[in-house]
Structure 1
Amino acid sequence: MSKDSKVALVTGGNRGIGYELVRQLALNGFKVILASRDPKMGHEAVQKLKESNLDVSFVVMDISNQESIRQGAITVSERYGRLDVLINNAGVYLDENEKLLNIDPSVLEGTMTTNFFGAYHVIRSFMPLMEQQGYGRIINVSSEYGAMSQMSSPGVGAYKLSKLTLNGLTRLVAAEIKGDIKINAVDPGWVSTDMGGPSASRTPKQAARSILWLATIGPEGPSGGFFRDGKQINW
């Protein structure tokens, strides 16, 4: 592999924003690894992208399963020996619009397992690949629902808490990492995907564009920030 072709990995890459992120990274010359927990859907997505001559491969990774993440990291290390860009895009939205204390606790636990612990374990497992080359760009796909101000209004409590803690993780990791490794959180807005529903105002293409600039920022670029459409927003 030539020295200048960077490797990117996108979790939840088989549909919605994730699929569009994979496509746009590949169009921009990245070797892209599409990670998905569903092998059939993952392979189908990769085949579709390969028909457009894009350099995309598949790795099965269920981010609610630590062993699956560990195996994914081993596969990427063996196959590429590096990782330059990591996008934590996979997420779930399990809330019924009830009060947090009234929902079944399993809804909160399941949401945190994927949206928070999933991202945490992925970062932890892939960080060594970035540290060994002293370079990395990590992007956590968050939500404006994760802003502290959103905690003052009721509803969607499990999802809100999961994104609030993802934002906290972003800042903590930014404070801890050394070298030219940057981590940021981004709010893609309300996007017409399976999760966002058909009436959402933004396309996955617009959402991906608002995220991807963080994949190619230089050493002077931001770290530990929360962004929407390239502008910093409040935690």
Structure 2
Amino acid sequence: MALLLVTGASTGLGLATATTLASGGHDVVLHARNADRIEDASVLDQMYAVVYGDLSRREETVEVARQADAIGRFDAVVHNAGVMRGEDVLTVNTVAPFVLTATMTPPGRAIFLSSGLHHSGSPQRLAPDFARPGRTSYGDSKLFVTALALALAHRLPQTLSHAVDPGWVPTRMGGPSAPESLEDGHRTQVWLATADDDSIDPRTGCYWYHQAVQAPHPAASDHGFQDAVVDALEARTGIPLPA
């Protein structure tokens, strides 16, 4: 039995991930922006605990980390929360996972939701996007968070860190015409969070799609770009990544 945190778990992929983990006998902590986001309150009966906070706000994200740390050290954190468009794309998709990582007790594993659209992101957009975050594209934000996930494999070797492309699935974000299944969309996160260490190969620092390692955008694997992403996140938040 593992202690697991899933962010953005009130609907969609996050909810499917949380309920699947809970049905597997694990202690799951569900994160939601607020109580009103949980459409079916009976879901909470399956959860070990719930934490609330708006991940588009730095102070609330730090508070989510504090609430989580008060529960215990997590075996895995699934950074699922995300938005497709709007002024909070960079903050929710990239900055919030960094803040949680930098302020929480390091978990055993960290799984970051990426997207196939990260291949459309541009490493040249890092500086202008962080200067004007309201104009960041979804693809750019997912390129940055993929680079962060792979950077953590080197910077926090005690935490197994991976990025996952869940595919285009029929959630509120993906829309009803999405061609892939919701089950396929969360299966890899569940597996990475709970599988035996020796069954995950490579052990850390990979980009996955349907439980198979894929090649990410070349910039995401470049240590220089990874360092630039971490530097930009530390400068923006004022929070250093622990050594």
| TM-score grouping bracket, smaller chain normalisation | 0.7 to 0.9
Match of residue 11 from structure 1: 7
SS in 2 for 1:190: coil
Counterpart-to-counterpart distance in 2, 1:122 and 1:73: 6
Counterpart-to-counterpart distance in 2, 1:50 and 1:151: 36
Is 1:215 matched with 2:190?
no
Instruction: Using the TM superposition, give the Cα deviation of residue 23 of structure 1 relative to its aligned residue in structure 2, in angstroms.
Output: 0.2
CA RMSD of aligned residues (A): 2.0
Is 1:114 matched with 2:92?
yes
Instruction: Using the TM superposition, give the Cα deviation of residue 138 of structure 1 relative to its aligned residue in structure 2, in angstroms.
Output: 0.8
Is 1:83 matched with 2:74?
yes
Match of residue 124 from structure 1: 102
Q: Which runs of 5+ in 1 are unaligned?
A: 95-106, 131-135
Q: Percent identity?
A: 30
Counterpart-to-counterpart distance in 1, 2:207 and 2:65: 26
Compute the TM-score of the two structures, normalised by the length of structure 1: 0.79
Between the two proteins, the alignment pairs up a number of residues equal to 201
Is 1:197 matched with 2:193?
no
Is 1:93 matched with 2:84?
yes
Which of the residues 121, 136, 147 maps onto 1:168? 147
SS in 1 for 2:25: coil
Compute the TM-score of the two structures, normalised by the length of structure 2: 0.76
Q: Work out whether residues 11 and 88 of structure 1, in 8 Å CA contact, stay in contact via their aligned partners in 2.
A: yes
Which of the residues 33, 42, 46 maps onto 1:48? 42
Counterpart-to-counterpart distance in 1, 2:136 and 2:92: 15
SS in 1 for 2:137: helix
Match of residue 39 from structure 1: 35
Which of the residues 45, 57, 61 maps onto 2:53? 61
Q: Which runs of 5+ in 2 are unaligned?
A: 123-134, 217-243
Counterpart-to-counterpart distance in 2, 1:89 and 1:19: 10
Question: Residue deviations 1:75-130, cap 9 Å, x none?
Answer: 2222x222111011111111xxxxxxxxxxxx4x521111111111121122x253
CA spacing shift, 1:116–1:137, aligned 2, 3 Å: same
Match of residue 228 from structure 2: none
Instruction: Using the TM superposition, give the Cα deviation of residue 50 of structure 1 relative to its aligned residue in structure 2, in angstroms.
Output: 4.5
Match of residue 231 from structure 1: 212
CA spacing shift, 1:162–1:202, aligned 2, 3 Å: same
Instruction: Using the TM superposition, give the Cα deviation of residue 22 of structure 1 relative to its aligned residue in structure 2, in angstroms.
Output: 0.5
Instruction: Using the TM superposition, give the Cα deviation of residue 151 of structure 1 relative to its aligned residue in structure 2, in angstroms.
Output: 4.5
SS in 2 for 1:32: strand
Counterpart-to-counterpart distance in 2, 1:81 and 1:209: 25
Counterpart-to-counterpart distance in 2, 1:125 and 1:204: 31
Match of residue 97 from structure 1: none
